[in-house]
Structure 1
Amino acid sequence: MILHNFETASKSEVEHFQLQHLQQTVRRVYEKVPFYKKKFDELGVKPGDIQSVIDITRLPFTLKKDLRDHYPFGLFAVPQNELIRIHASSGTSGKPTVVGYTKNDINNWAEIVARAITIGGGKPGEIMHNAYGYGLFTGGLGLHYGSEKLGMVTVPVSGGNTDRQITIIEDFKPTVICCTPSYLLNLAERMGELGKNPRETSLKFGILGAEPWSEEMRQTIEDRLNIKACDIYGLSEVIGPGVSMECPEAQDGLHIAEDHFLVEVIDPLTLLPVPDGEDGELVFTSLTKEAFPVIRYRSGDVASINREKCKCGRTTIRMSRVKGRIDDMLNIRGVNVFPSQIEHFLLHVKELEPHYQIHLFKKGSLQHIELQAEVCESLYYEVNGDMHHTKIDNLKKEIQRIIKSHCLITVDVEILQPKSIPRSEGKAVRIVSHSEVKMGG
């Protein structure tokens, strides 16, 4: 096991480093980003007022809306001739969020991701299969540069073309695969369809992220592929993948790169800090970025933090795996629930495949939910072209009982035949919204 010096540093050493770089970052944005100068002045805060890490609570929050309002380059802290790369979000819900990188930013990012891959089981000289998408999305290139920095043999497969990916895994014999958890399940399923045993590949570790996934999903992946599956976290607004990484020794929280990112957890309603161990919204401040530093960026991701030493030997703060996004939280007749909570209990039902979708229908102010899930092939019967009705009806009732008992919401359940739900080559589509309630809903 390789430990970075900062991963075993004392609390005082960490805070001293963080304060120095926080003060530098605050001065940088105040002097070079008009948006932040205006925000600081409105609060009556000057860079010299930051005398401890705790003083970060005096600074303004940054929202995704702020990035979109200053699209494309309005929040950059360097002139264009100092940039060497630009990334952007997909922009599916409006204008994309655009982020820039200097040469130092790219070097730091590569080092951050190299550490993350090391935490997740990667080793110099071994082969890494990178199935994250390349392009404006930060996932593919982020993992690519980190893998090369670590000294791994990097296979830039990118997303899609599943059969070709399987052939490359068979022929190149990678030990690490990087992709979304839903796509890795898709790969395993396709291997089975091709008559191959997904448990007999060379893969040992999965570095999986870009979407929330439950402990039950992890167990399913590990069982089907005979690997250790660990979560990697990042967001393009902060840097990209590598902000934190889970270790296979504990699989109990993601180690945050505290020398590059200062994390807070707040109540999204009161905006006040929540105690360690309690869920809240993750807030990040970058400490070393030059082109696009962010102050107290509200991620929208819900998680908690743990400051206890990990069994792997690292002392860095760990964040829990993301429970979901605030904007993905469903409110069903006054009850708040995340899709990952539904997944948690749904995957306990052994008769189901780990593929599902939540369909939302609205009638007035009320939201109606239909849970679509696939029955496993071993219980799939054909009777005049239909599935065995008695078994399916009983399974529906059991799922409704489980979700009602644990998530406190009433759902309609639609049981589909195997392979009915579209498979993802990237992030899985878990929620499908409709404008009207289904007939009879």
Structure 2
Amino acid sequence: MTEQREKAILVGVNLQNEDDFDFQYSMEELGELAAACDVEVVGQVTQKLDRVNNSHYIGKGKIEEVAALKEMQDADTVIFDDELSPSQIRNLEADLDCKVIDRTILILDIFARRAKTREAQMQVEMARLQYMLPRLVGLRASLGRQGGGGGEGLTNRGAGETKLELDRRRIEAKIAFLRKELSVHVAQREVQRRQRKKNEVPVVSLVGYTNAGKSTIMNGMIELFNESAHKQVFEKNMLFATLETSIRKIEQPDRKSYLLTDTVGFVKKLPHHLVKAFRSTLEEAANADLLIHVVDFSNPHYRQMIQTTNETLKEMDIEGVPTLIVYNKADQTGEEYPRVENDKIFISAKKKEGLKELNTEIRKHIFKDYVTCTMLIPFEEGHLVSYFNSNANVTSASYEEEGTLLKMECRLADYEKYKQYVIAK
């Protein structure tokens, strides 16, 4: 016997200063988020207001409308499009007599389902606990009223208040534990970053809205330039398919290479707790030499998605990094592709069309510091010949009386380091 899906009513407030198109996009996305949690949307109620109602988020008349729709559709949950305050949730649950959740907890639930690695699971758990902490209110029958007795130092406190304090202390202790555990992962990540910087391998980070095609682009690039199929990352047509940061080395035919990182996708009204929790992971983008901002060009709201991504990057202090904008899924738009316009590239990652052009543009940005030169390496420094064969594009090698003559294109840093062997540039 199949388990019955949860049924939900969506509720949103269209503030007077918000564009109708933006509001419609936000409500559509709320429905997609609900579907990602396997919740069936059976109705929707919206209201235009100058500002949200402090006690209930929506007006009294709309609460009655939601209650009637809930009864008619036999819904068991009401989902609001903004983050609700603890008192709003309490008041709404009392009036609607059902579970009330907001956009934030919906996104947190999706992240909890999708998190695979220990680090991602800890990040999501910490965000969830930080969200819960101010919402530890005395919920109706679950907590006792003010009463006497019971326990050292609690003579004048009721069971409800005691439970509340115990819960709060327990959550604060768990947050402190998770923060300590995550700091170990952050330290390890920092060591890896320093090592990559020392090796001078350029880092290119894929950023953008969730489900824009970042993982599809990464897999396409791996397929084009790497032989190992096991290096492919998980991809699926769904919101937040991947939460973990994947890093893959993209080897170039001329011995150059760069690291391509795939970060967690963004979404409108991404909970502040999640942005903070994933900050260490997303710092891969902050330390990148180049950002690839992936846009779902087939989505009618793609401009809003670009704006949301830019705002989230700004919130994380990721500014001033050179950026290429990749308009993906161009095959669904009737637009000409693949094509390049300044720092904009139109591609179809699914059809693997435009990835070579993307790679060419990436190379233009990150391989500027390369020098063509001729070096004469003494025979006693033979290890340097091996080094350049592995880390430079050696076009010819011949043996002279004084040593090995290499004609090559190498990194400027290597050129400066071994300048004493340069005989021509």
Higher-Rg structure is 2
Higher relative contact order (CA 8 A, sep 6+): 1
- Tell me if both proteins adopt one fold, taking TM over 0.5 as the criterion: no
Question: So what's the TM-score if we normalise by structure 2?
Answer: 0.28
In terms of fraction of residues, the more helix-rich structure is 2
